[in-house]
Amino acid sequence: MRVLVTGGAGYIGSHVCLSLYSAGHDVLILDNFSNARRDIGERIQQIAGVRPRIVEGDIRDEHLLRSVLHDFEPDAVMHFAAMKAVGESSVIPLEYHDVNVGGTIRLLKAMQAYRCRKLVFSSSATVYGQAGTCPVNESAPVSAANPYGRTKLFCEQIISDTRMADPELQAISLRYFNPVGAHHSGLIGETPQGIPNNLVPYISQVAAGIRSQLSVYGGDYATADGTGVRDYIHVCDLADAHLRALQMLPDLSDLEALNLGTGRGHSVLEVIRAFAKVSGRQIPYQIVARREGDAAQSWADTSLARKRLGWVAQHSLQRMCEDAWRWQLALAQTEGTAN
């Protein structure tokens, strides 16, 4: 199958590309490298033995999208290209809506023009907002609490409307919880721009001596140790789920979205202890005031993905931390980002 992967040079997209190559698919990456490494092509080649084809460009460039669809003639699109920082989305909401929602609309128009009828969309559990009960299943109310989450929700709704108007379109939105970890080779992983927005990359940088300590937002939640609980999922498990969703799209016509998580929550302090154990480093932290809008706990009900995709996350929290630390050490060797 010929697969166009938008945002395929980024953290999750690059891992999905590896899964696509291993399954024998023909892949074309479209990425503007705003949040991706310039050497990702060489790194993918080292792992997969295939030199990826990459087109550099913006998902909002309708002329470019049509040119790519015309020349490559993909059988399917996997759509990751987006801005993704929750905090930043509240500062520059118009940019988030322009890129995430506007880019998706332009992509769907180009797909229609060139009769590409398969789409796997990278969504997010942020569409649920502060879910009232856990585990969170796909029928839970959607009430995104920030502009980023709302862009993902709007995109899901636009895709749903497009499916209603065009029954030939096969599409699924994958709502993942908290992606962490890196490829076991240590060659690709998450490379935050500036201060990390997510817990595990921040912990990695504290362990590496790049940052002095971690701020833990809230120590008085109604959880076992008072800190927030989240469902952390290894990025390679996510990649496997995306591949399965692509292969099974014709059998998912009655669904609009699937949760991807482990089905188990871990507190911030649990993650800190796990990372300290695998790295052999102390993780200094300070408990500070809660952040407005943060839920006490959130983890996925993954029973639908297990039933419909035959998929279950395989990696433990320890393995997630091991692979994240291996990636951080690899960065230190190549870029001197450690003490």
Cβ contact 287:300 at 8 Å: no
- For 309-323, letters b (16+ CB in 10 Å) and e give bebebebebebbbbb
CA distance 299 to 127: 13
Alpha-carbon separation of residue 124 from 111, 177, 201 (angstroms): 22, 6, 19
CA distance 36 to 199: 19
Cβ contact 50:28 at 8 Å: no
Rounded to 5 degrees, φ, ψ at 246 are -60, -45
Rounded to 5 degrees, φ, ψ at 180 are -145, 180
Name the active-site residue from 148, 202, 221, 232: 148
CA distance 219 to 224: 10
Dihedral sign for Cα atoms in the order 230, 263, 170, 310: positive
Name the E strands within the chain: 2-6, 26-31, 53-56, 76-79, 118-124, 170-176, 178-180, 214-217, 229-230, 232-234, 257-260, 266-267, 285-288, 297-298
CA distance 264 to 238: 15
Cβ contact 107:65 at 8 Å: yes
- Which residues, 6+ apart, have CB-to-CB distance to 12 below 8 Å? 80, 122, 179, 235, 238, 239
- Is 96 part of the annotated catalytic residue set? no
Tokens of 62: 């309708």
Alpha-helix runs per DSSP H in 131-267: 147-165, 199-207, 235-247
Residues marked active site are found at 148
